[in-house]
Structure 1
Amino acid sequence: MDFSSPVGTVKTPVARPNISTKPNAPAPPRVARPTSEASASLRSYLNQVQGAQLSQGLLRRDGGGIDTPFTNTMLARNFEQIAFYNEYDGSFSNRGGPSPLRRWAAPVRMDIIFGDSVPPSQRAGDAKNVRNYAARLGRVTGHPVSMSKNANFIVVIAGEDDRAETLATAAARVPGITTASLTPLNNLPRDTYCVVAAYASGSGANTYTAALAVIRAENPSLLRLSCIHEELAQGMGLANDSPNARPSIFNDDDEFALLTRHDELLLEMLYDPRLRIGMNAEQARPTVQKIASELTTSGPV
């Protein structure tokens, strides 16, 4: 999911009391919070979701094959549906509409913030997956994407019990992300496993300057990895899903869990310099068709 103009209000979390310590004294050990019933129930539900999807042959990790060929015409059509439309409005309550081409102009600098409830072993695996995927996004798009503490794209991995305070920490670190915009991210429906919000706070209304991806820590490992792949790619500018896109993660049918070759081509098209930020679908269509033809010169992929 992606939305460019998040709306709403959020209360600032109450600050934790300061714990005074003597000079040079070791910091008090962090006491793990007990998991709430809501978080435990959500974790059970999401494990059932992943199990059911796998049993139906969904969440494929093979990137497609001879059963999923696509042509230049299909690639151009899918790009138009995914790059020139919004999946949802800012409240997640309505489907989005047509939109100009949006992407980053400045280098993308990613960082991860974990909620306190996320155990060290899960943090290590998720951090490695985000780092590897950020490097892949940079290679595919040709746009600078790196990991940095001076981030403009923050990936929040947090549970039901600590998402609000983790989001507040993220918002405080990145200019252009306001606390008022966090309400839809705090109030996720149960069947929303992850989400991304992209922001355009500079002079260009369609030029991304900040992004915030939110991934439920309660997701089992494959769903979390799938969320990393989809939300970070959508945060680059591929804001919509299409029921016609195949093989693709930009499709609500969940057939594919991880970025496919088809999706890599969409990202390459998005950052092709012949397409300009702010173009509408009609203006871009001849160029989109030309690029798609160039990328599939050997026939069906």
Structure 2
Amino acid sequence: MQRLVCRIMLPLCLTLSACGPGDEARPETPTRAAMPQAIALPPMKAFSDPRPIRPERSNRDIGRDFLDLSFQLESGRHLPQFSRFEEPITLRVTGQPPLTMMADLDRLLSRLRREAGIDIHRVSQGEANITIEAVSGDQIRRHLPTAACFVVPNISRLADYRAARNRGATDWTRLRRRDRLAVFVPNDVSPQETRDCLHEELAQAIGPLNDLYRLPDSVFNDDNVHAVLTGFDMLILRAYYAPELRSGMTRAEVAARLPGILARLNPEGEDVSPRFAPETPRAWIDAIQTALGPGTSPADRRAAALEALRIAQVEGWSDHRLGFSHFSLGRLLQGSDAALAVQHFAAADDIYRRNPGMDLHRAFTAAQLAAYAITRSRGDEALIWLGSHQATAERHENATLLATLMMLRAEALDLTGRVAEAQAVRLDSLGWARYGYGADWAVRAKLQDVSALNPLKEPNG
């Protein structure tokens, strides 16, 4: 299982910036907008206690999700049996982990023990069930060119991956029980990108291996909206380690026990009517991956995004997948037809607004719509779009989104003449930007890109 480089959604890769801080150093060069370069960067900010939102869905829907997550791979291959760790899990970190990674890992392990009831602890030496090796992004991509991070069974070092794959040892379909796994994460990206890899890959190391686009509230979804494990994810992991289950069970055996497990763990879900979200056709998945994945020409990307939207409309969807289809097309139209792109962002926002639990999705569209309003000198409109989305980004622990929303708010405030307030918001954004974007040059580049949206700051503005 792997997290892709600049993976699928790229929600903050607006026309504001490239795809986040990359793996190679970028020198700071003099530019027209010298103001952001002059700002001294404050200390990096960190999130406080997690505030996950419990799922508000039917246990019948959650049970179906559990089975599809647990008995299928992202490629579509079926898993013949259920597999998990059957003893307390030990975890060891090797390589060269950044300091922020260790703090984020300990916070994640604490959440897994507290919220998912999983007996997992970090050890400092000796063999461990899970080894997290922190290496460079280049080292990871030498093995999997499109991967930002990944997890594989039956090895403990990246150096062993190729040989193990050649002899079939990394084939998840052959695994009956989990005893030894390795997670490979980059140590030369932003703190948030490393943390996001930890959440996704460790969750798959100990739990389900599949991703489902139909899930609106989960990291087990390639749309990349959620960066950290959600309340739904923790419920899935708690059920995964329920005493009623064991490694080697078939799908039918797990399905027979699952209703009782979910009734015990999530009694509120017993009284909610199921929605039975339709399956996601492979054609839509392929179109989205072509549109937003690597290695495709701009024209082919736009064609693929149009095809994804067409499929979503033919399927009759009204959920977040239709919204994401509009959002993706808007992303790809920004450089060639900004007005049309905004129409698709607005359509996505309207769909998200009509579906419950879409606050985080709306925060991403708000960034796009506010950015466009700023380019048109409509500061009041931008402030309306931004609304209270900063609180949403903070609750969901997305510093990249939070910093961007704050920078946009600062430009909107400047446009409305509230210069002192704008400067305070701008300065406050930088601590979050240091976590979300990493290197000082990347923080200043993001600040400069957002500042450049403001017509008042053009050479003749």
Which of 79, 89, 98 is the matching residue for 1:98? 79
Aligned equivalent of 1:189:
145
Q: Is the 8 A contact 1:137 1:233 kept in 2?
A: no
Which has the larger strand fraction? 1
Q: Is the 8 A contact 1:50 1:220 kept in 2?
A: no
2:215 partner SS: coil
Change (3 A) 1:72 1:227: same
Which of 86, 89, 94 is the matching residue for 2:73? 86
Q: Is the 8 A contact 1:110 1:152 kept in 2?
A: yes
Q: Is the 8 A contact 1:240 1:250 kept in 2?
A: yes
Please state if 1:157 is matched with 2:127: no
CA distances 1:269-293 after superposition (whole Å, capped 9, x unpaired): 0000111211111121121122223
1:208 partner SS: coil
Which has the larger helix fraction? 2
CA distances 1:211-243 after superposition (whole Å, capped 9, x unpaired): 101112343222221111111111003111112
Aligned equivalent of 1:253:
223
2:224 partner SS: coil
Q: Is the 8 A contact 2:100 2:191 kept in 1?
A: no
Q: Is the 8 A contact 2:67 2:251 kept in 1?
A: yes
**Which amino acid in 2 is paired with 1:159?**
S
Find the structure with the greater CA-based Rg. Answer: 2
Which of 93, 109, 112 is the matching residue for 2:90? 109
Please state if 1:133 is matched with 2:115: no
Q: How does 1:127-276 map to 2 (within 5 A)?
A: 127-148=102-123, 149-150=125-126, 151-161=128-138, 163=139, 186-190=142-146, 192-199=147-154, 205-276=175-246
2:254 partner SS: helix
Residues of 2 paired with 1:236 and 1:134: CA distance?
A: 12
Q: Is the 8 A contact 1:86 1:99 kept in 2?
A: no
- With structure 1 as the length reference, what TM-score do the two structures score? 0.63
Change (3 A) 1:281 1:131: same
- With structure 2 as the length reference, what TM-score do the two structures score? 0.42
Residues of 2 paired with 1:245 and 1:100: CA distance?
A: 23
Q: Is the 8 A contact 1:245 1:251 kept in 2?
A: yes
Residues of 2 paired with 1:136 and 1:64: CA distance?
A: 13
Q: Is the 8 A contact 1:114 1:157 kept in 2?
A: yes
Residue 186 of structure 1 deviates from its aligned partner by 4.5
Q: Is the 8 A contact 1:78 1:244 kept in 2?
A: no
Residues of 2 paired with 1:276 and 1:62: CA distance?
A: 30
Unaligned runs of 5+ in 1: 3-41, 56-60, 89-94, 165-184
Unaligned runs of 5+ in 2: 17-49, 156-168, 273-356, 358-461
Q: Is the 8 A contact 1:70 1:246 kept in 2?
A: no
**Which amino acid in 1 is paired with 2:117?**
G
Aligned equivalent of 2:373:
none
Please state if 1:286 is matched with 2:261: no
Q: Is the 8 A contact 2:137 2:148 kept in 1?
A: no
Q: Which has the higher contact order (CA 8 A, sep 6+)?
A: 1
Task: Count residues with an aligned counterpart.
Answer: 216
Q: Is the 8 A contact 1:71 1:296 kept in 2?
A: no
Residues of 2 paired with 1:142 and 1:127: CA distance?
A: 21
Aligned equivalent of 2:13:
52
1:264 partner SS: helix
Q: Is the 8 A contact 1:157 1:215 kept in 2?
A: yes
Residues of 2 paired with 1:107 and 1:274: CA distance?
A: 16
Q: Is the 8 A contact 1:141 1:270 kept in 2?
A: no
Residue 63 of structure 1 deviates from its aligned partner by 4.3
Residues of 1 paired with 2:91 and 2:225: CA distance?
A: 27
Change (3 A) 1:248 1:215: same
Residues of 2 paired with 1:268 and 1:136: CA distance?
A: 11
1:51 partner SS: coil
Aligned equivalent of 2:321:
none
Q: Is the 8 A contact 1:72 1:295 kept in 2?
A: no
2:13 partner SS: helix
Change (3 A) 1:112 1:222: same
After superposition, the CA RMSD in angstroms is 3.2
Using the aligned pairs only, state the percent identity.
23
Q: Is the 8 A contact 2:200 2:220 kept in 1?
A: yes
